[in-house]
């Protein structure tokens, strides 16, 4: 069968993820190439990447060092068994990632995606407490509007209704903190908003309700990406950390989006100066080139498992492709590229130009909030009455026609370009969005 994907019929067999399949297949948008800040479409147009793919291509597209490393690795060692065998590059990558992680977080468990990283972290939290003789600590706490991937663990602690409602009873014993988004109090904030630290105190109420001895872990995104770029209010994450510490609850930061430079540091934990017990990451770990995720854990957590007989497997968990050689090669070359080009510093250098560009949209039609940090922005639009998501999706289509890729979630435009973005690219991105906003229904 030849599938050249040139007519809508050819597109039929592929069941696309998180996509309106019939709408897409009636008017497909296909990328056939990418280099640095731009995609090339099937009809040979150049499209500025305002979203780093899906928040993952932090170093830009087709960067030479990463391309070469992957090409070399396929020839040298295409695959090595992940269990009871190893290969040098994955140990090297673990050491490099542990080195970049906040002080005290120094062991790395590899997965193939952010969703797997989240489910792995939740399982490690449960097994950790059990290993320590605290087996009653089984409850997991997430947050409304949280996105933690699509595994059963991730959607259970996640707080996006559509991602949960179709899929049965989910994990038992999960509670949710309230989300922190408030246009009423925080509209047009630059960086962290002032209002909302007290929302972390809801964790105390959850502890009072269930007793700390039943709670294993709290998982939050330090900055919630998928539900529309929701910044943590000043003091909020510190307060969560204090309450978790007080009650012996593990704090997990899901840094699948915020990891690897997006906020100007390797991890948001450093940016906000709040140390979690575990960090989940993916995306920017390999620049999106080869799928890979990871769970970073504190030494005490790893050590707790290293207690039994030396010939006993300590954690009954892992994937065929945990630490895949090609992903490891891509990861090492990605970290080299970040370092050699100073891309995390570059994010900080561009952040104020970016902030000014974001807030220049204030006053344009439909704009009810603008928020930014590092090289991330959220542009919230007033929804069309009775047609939620329609206005932002129309903005997405019109920007794409004008050669700019943005991402929308609900009626929020989320921007997260590669960290190599230039001022000229920023002008083009926001100039196009401004033009589109003026013409939207």
| Closer by beta carbon to ligand PXG, 192 or else 286 | 286
Cβ atoms within 10 A of the Cβ of 410, count?
A: 18
- The footprint of ligand PXG on residues 34-73 (CB under 6 A) is 54-55
We find the least distance from the C-beta atom of residue 379 to ligand PXG, in angstroms, to be: 14
Question: 334 and 413 in contact (C-beta within 8 Å)?
Answer: no
**Residues 151-190: x where in contact with ligand PXG by CB under 6 A, - otherwise, as a string:** ----------------------------------------
- The footprint of ligand PXG on residues 69-98 (CB under 6 A) is none
- C-alpha atoms less than 13 angstroms from C-alpha of 326 in its C-beta half-sphere: 15
We find the least distance from the C-beta atom of residue 304 to ligand PXG, in angstroms, to be: 25
We find the least distance from the C-beta atom of residue 310 to ligand PXG, in angstroms, to be: 34
Sign, Cα dihedral of 60, 64, 65, 70:
positive
We find the least distance from the C-beta atom of residue 411 to ligand PXG, in angstroms, to be: 14
| Closer by beta carbon to ligand PXG, 389 or else 409 | 409
Euclidean distance between the first and final Cα of the chain, in Å?
Answer: 43
**Residues 379-418: x where in contact with ligand PXG by CB under 6 A, - otherwise, as a string:** ----------------------------x-x---------
Measure Cα distances from 308 to 108, 133, 137, 242 in Å.
Answer: 20, 13, 21, 31
| Closer by beta carbon to ligand PXG, 101 or else 282 | 282
**Residues 135-154: x where in contact with ligand PXG by CB under 6 A, - otherwise, as a string:** ------------xxx-----
Measure the CA–CA gap between 270 and 272, rounded to whole angstroms: 5
Single out the residue of 59, 121, 282, 375 in contact with ligand PXG (rule: CB under 6 A). 282
We find the least distance from the C-beta atom of residue 392 to ligand PXG, in angstroms, to be: 12
We find the least distance from the C-beta atom of residue 110 to ligand PXG, in angstroms, to be: 13
Which string of DSSP letters, residue by residue, matches 330-361?
A: HHHHHHHHHHHTTHHHHHHHHHHHHHHHHHTT
Question: 174 and 209 in contact (C-beta within 8 Å)?
Answer: no
Measure Cα distances from 360 to 264, 286, 357 in Å.
Answer: 22, 33, 5
- The footprint of ligand PXG on residues 254-273 (CB under 6 A) is 254, 256-257
Single out the residue of 49, 119, 175, 221 in contact with ligand PXG (rule: CB under 6 A). 221
| Closer by beta carbon to ligand PXG, 207 or else 418 | 418
Could you tell me the two tokens for 422?
Answer: 């230039």
Measure Cα distances from 139 to 169, 207, 276, 280, 317 in Å.
Answer: 15, 10, 18, 19, 20
Measure the CA–CA gap between 258 and 226, rounded to whole angstroms: 11
Residue ranges in contact with ligand PXG by CB under 6 A = 54-55, 113-115, 118, 147-149, 221, 225-226, 254, 256-257, 282, 407, 409
């Amino acid at each position: 069968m030849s599938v050249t994907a040139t007519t809508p019929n050819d597109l039929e067999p592929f069941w696309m993820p998180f996509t309106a399949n019939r709408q897409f297949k009636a008017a497909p948008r296909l990328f056939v190439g990418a280099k640095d800040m731009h995609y090339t479409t099937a009809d040979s147009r150049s499209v500025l990447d305002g979203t780093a793919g899906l928040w993952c291509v932090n170093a830009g597209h087709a960067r030479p060092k990463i391309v070469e490393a992957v090409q070399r690795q396929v020839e040298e060692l295409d695959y090595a068994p992940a269990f009871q065998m190893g290969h040098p590059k994955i140990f090297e990558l673990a050491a490099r990632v542990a080195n970049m992680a906040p002080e005290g977080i120094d062991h790395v468990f590899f997965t193939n995606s952010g969703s797997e990283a989240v489910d792995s972290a939740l399982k490690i939290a449960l097994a950790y407490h059990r290993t320590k003789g605290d087996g009653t600590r089984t409850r997991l706490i997430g947050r409304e509007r949280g996105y933690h991937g699509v595994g059963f663990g991730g959607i259970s602690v996640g707080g996006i209704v559509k991602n949960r409602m179709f899929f049965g009873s989910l994990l038992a014993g999960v509670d949710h903190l309230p989300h922190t988004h408030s246009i009423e109090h925080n509209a047009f904030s630059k960086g962290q908003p002032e209002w909302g630290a007290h929302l972390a105190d809801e964790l105390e109420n959850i502890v009072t309700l269930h007793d700390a001895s039943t709670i294993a872990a709290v998982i939050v995104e330090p900055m919630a990406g998928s539900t529309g770029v929701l910044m943590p209010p000043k003091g909020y994450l510190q307060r969560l950390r204090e309450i978790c510490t007080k009650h012996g609850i593990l704090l997990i930061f899901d840094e699948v989006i915020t990891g690897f430079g997006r906020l100007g540091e390797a991890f948001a934990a450093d940016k906000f100066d709040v140390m979690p017990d575990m960090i989940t990451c993916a995306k920017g770990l390999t620049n999106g080139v080869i799928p890979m995720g990871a769970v970073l854990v504190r030494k005490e957590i790893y050590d707790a498992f290293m207690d039994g007989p030396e010939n006993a497997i300590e954690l009954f968990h892992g994937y065929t492709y945990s630490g895949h050689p090609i992903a490891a090669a891509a990861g090492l070359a990605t970290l080299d590229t970040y370092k050699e080009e100073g891309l995390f510093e570059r994010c900080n250098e561009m952040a104020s130009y970016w902030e000014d560009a974001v807030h220049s949209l204030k006053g344009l039609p439909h704009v009810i909030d603008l928020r930014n940090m590092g090289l991330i922005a959220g542009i919230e639009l007033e929804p069309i009455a009775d047609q939620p998501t329609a206005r932002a999706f129309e903005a997405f289509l019109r920007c794409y026609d004008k050669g700019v890729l943005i991402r929308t979630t609900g009626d929020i435009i989320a921007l997260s370009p590669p960290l190599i973005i230039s001022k000229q690219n920023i002008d083009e991105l926001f100039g196009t969005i401004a033009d589109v906003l003026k013409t939207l229904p």
